[in-house]
Amino acid sequence: MAARDEATVASQVSREALDQLFLKARTHNVWLPRRVPIEVLHEIYNLTRMGPTSANSSPARFVFLTTAAAKERLVPALAPPNLEKTRNAPVTAIIAYDNEFYEKLPRLFPHNQEARNWFAGNAALSEETAFRNSSLQGAYFILAARSLGLDCGPMSGFDPAKVNAEFFPDGKWKANFLCNLGYGDAGKLFPRSPRLDFDEACKVL
């Protein structure tokens, strides 16, 4: 069965698609001076939102910084190695999460109108669910952007408290990670770093 499943996947997804999404995709730090249209940002989100989340909770929120002025608001929160790459990227996305995501569950999870009550009043569970599922949506976001021909530069070198204070002062949303978007300069890439082999990272029980 496993071999048949793998063959089915291989027949449905082209090698070119796998290369674009995974095998030849790279994290970019140097960007070409090419604008990313707002319409493409809409397309990225419309693909991202279709990925599964727990109880369709969809807690991720996205803030796209597209101007120099918006980027400068982010600069004080960045670790020094991330300054220039962020200033030069056409777009920097703040992938955040809404701690009150459960307020939308009556619409997003309509077949169980009690779902909101699983989280309302339980801050620890809400935080855990929002962080885990927004991280998952952040991965969908990267794949969506790559599928549309963009390159990505996800980053965790920043001060979340400063980002939250600057962009989310009401405390409802919180930053998870950052991701630069644009068209990377392939000529400035360094060799791909190693990955763990199956036996190092996986167990089959």
Determine the structural domain holding residue 156 and report its residue range. Answer: 26-186
6, part of any domain: no
150, part of any domain: yes
C-beta atoms surrounding 94 within 10 Å: 23
Q: What is the pTM of this model?
A: 0.93
- Stated as kind and residue range, the H or E segment containing 88 is helix 83-88
Give pLDDT, residue 2: 46
Give pLDDT, residue 12: 81
Residues of the chain with pLDDT > 90: what percent?
A: 94
Strands 151-155 and 173-182, bridge-based pairing: antiparallel
Give pLDDT, residue 7: 46
5, part of any domain: no
How far is 51 from 144, CA to CA, in rounded Å?
A: 10
Interacting residues of 17 by C-beta distance below 8 A, sequence separation 6+: 147
19, part of any domain: no
15, part of any domain: no
Question: pLDDT tens for residues 89-144?
Answer: 999 999 999 999 999 999 999 999 999 999 999 999 999 999 999 999 999 999 99
Mean pLDDT of 79-88: 97
Number of domains in the chain: 1
122, part of any domain: yes
How far is 63 from 203, CA to CA, in rounded Å?
A: 38
Residue 13's pLDDT band, with cuts at 50, 70 and 90, is confident
18, part of any domain: no
CATH number at residue 136: 3.40.109.10
146, part of any domain: yes
